[in-house]
Amino acid sequence: MALPKTSQKFNASINAFTIGTGDQTVTLGGENVLPFYTFDAPIENAPKIGVEISDRGMENNVPGIRDYYAGAEDFRELARRASAIPGVDFVAFSLDAADPNGEDRSVEECAEECRQVAEGTDLPLVIIGSKGIEKNEVLFDRIADALAGRNVLLMSAKEENYKTIAASAGLAYNQKIGAESAVDINLAKQLNVVISQMGVKPTSIAMNVGAAAAGYGFEYVVSTMERVKMAALSQNDNMLQMPIVTPVASEAWNVKEALVSEEDIPEWGPMEERGIEMEIVTAAACLASGSNAVILRHPASIAAISEMIRELV
């Protein structure tokens, strides 16, 4: 008896989206099948992995991360070490200290740090903005200028601040824009529409459709990603064909499972291992649901996820 023919090779495809310059570029998307469905059609650009480093340095991390960066004196060295981790495709610099409700580091300082990171690595760059929605407008403007010509991805523009960010970083400096929405396909589409209407090319936009750690409302992440991919591929919705970039590290390392010490709950075992597995399980599920790239922190998680991608694509 013949096998049922159920191939899901679609006529539409996800946009090919490139960051970086010269021979150090990374391209996300381009596929016309569901995640890892290489048996339906070849996937030219395998999902990619970014390594997250923070403007606070890496000392406030578990030993496996802290030790890896130990002795790094400046952001150049931090970036150089980050890009040397096997399996890393791009470096994501997170401006945690810029948070206006926290340290509120100045825009000039942040721009200078970004410049140093760019000097430390040739890999493509992603800049993860602060928690301050208004501050990011100025921050991204200055950083887009400081990193002119590097073709970086700025994450993220939201409903409240996309206008300034699209106009300056997107149009004036020709950088790539990350459009961030919170686990809702309609909001994701709406944001892509309005950013495009400002003149930013759809192929210059990537999406962060929302992230969560496994166990923390992750069903919304799965369903949003699956619906976005279905609409993009089966209905050829070109306002949802942007590739998805998911910052996993900031979610995975901030839940109880990764933060509670072994002394507090001895049966849970070593804290570092819990954080690594949380990062791996969350990243694998994101990739299976539709992420074209994940941003991770621990070298061990990066090793595992890059092996998984190699095995599957």
Partner 1 sequence: MALKGLDIFKLTPKTNCKKCGVPTCMAFSMKVAQGSLPLEKCPFITDEVKDQLSEATAPPMKTIKVGEHSLGGETVLERHEKTFVSKTLYAMKVSAAFDDAKNDDILAKVPAVDYDRIGERMYCEFVFVEAADGENNRFLDLVKKAAALDRDLILSCTDPNLAKEALALCTGKNVILIGANAGNYEAMNAAANTAKVVLGVSGQSLEELHDTVASLEKIGNKNLILNTTGASVKDAFRNTVEVRRGALKGGDRTFGYPSLVDVAALSHGDAHMEAAYASLFTAKYGSIVVLTEMDYAKALPLYGLRQNIFTDPQKPMKVDPGIYPLNGADENSICMITVDFALTYFIVSGEIERSGVPVNLLISDAGGYSVLTAWAAGKFSASSIAKFIADYNIEDKIKNRILVLPGKVAVLKGEVQEKLPNWQVLVGTNEAVEIIRFLKDMQN
Task: Enumerate binding residues for partner 1 (CB under 8 A).
Answer: 1, 3-6, 8, 36-39, 101, 131, 213-219, 222-223, 226-227, 230, 254-257, 259, 267-270, 273-274, 276-278, 280-285, 287-289, 300-301, 303-305, 307-308, 311-312
C-beta separation of 34 from 8 below 8 A: yes
Q: Given the complex with partner 1, which of 167 and 312 has the nearer CB atom?
A: 312
How far is it, in rounded angstroms, from Cα 264 to Cα 77?
Answer: 35
Kindly state the smallest distance separating residue 44's Cβ from partner 1, in Å: 16
How far is it, in rounded angstroms, from Cα 13 to Cα 310?
Answer: 21
List Cβ neighbours of 188 (8 Å cut-off, separation of 6 or more): 179, 181, 207, 209, 224, 228, 240
Q: Given the complex with partner 1, which of 147 and 304 has the nearer CB atom?
A: 304
Cα dist from 22 to 10, 16, 50, 117, 123, whole Å: 31, 17, 18, 17, 10
Kindly state the smallest distance separating residue 24's Cβ from partner 1, in Å: 27
C-beta separation of 136 from 101 below 8 A: no
Q: Given the complex with partner 1, which of 36 and 173 has the nearer CB atom?
A: 36
Kindly state the smallest distance separating residue 248's Cβ from partner 1, in Å: 11
State which amino acid sits at residue 274: R
Kindly state the smallest distance separating residue 81's Cβ from partner 1, in Å: 21
State which amino acid sits at residue 142: R
Kindly state the smallest distance separating residue 164's Cβ from partner 1, in Å: 22
Q: Given the complex with partner 1, which of 243 and 275 has the nearer CB atom?
A: 275
Q: Given the complex with partner 1, which of 204 and 289 has the nearer CB atom?
A: 289
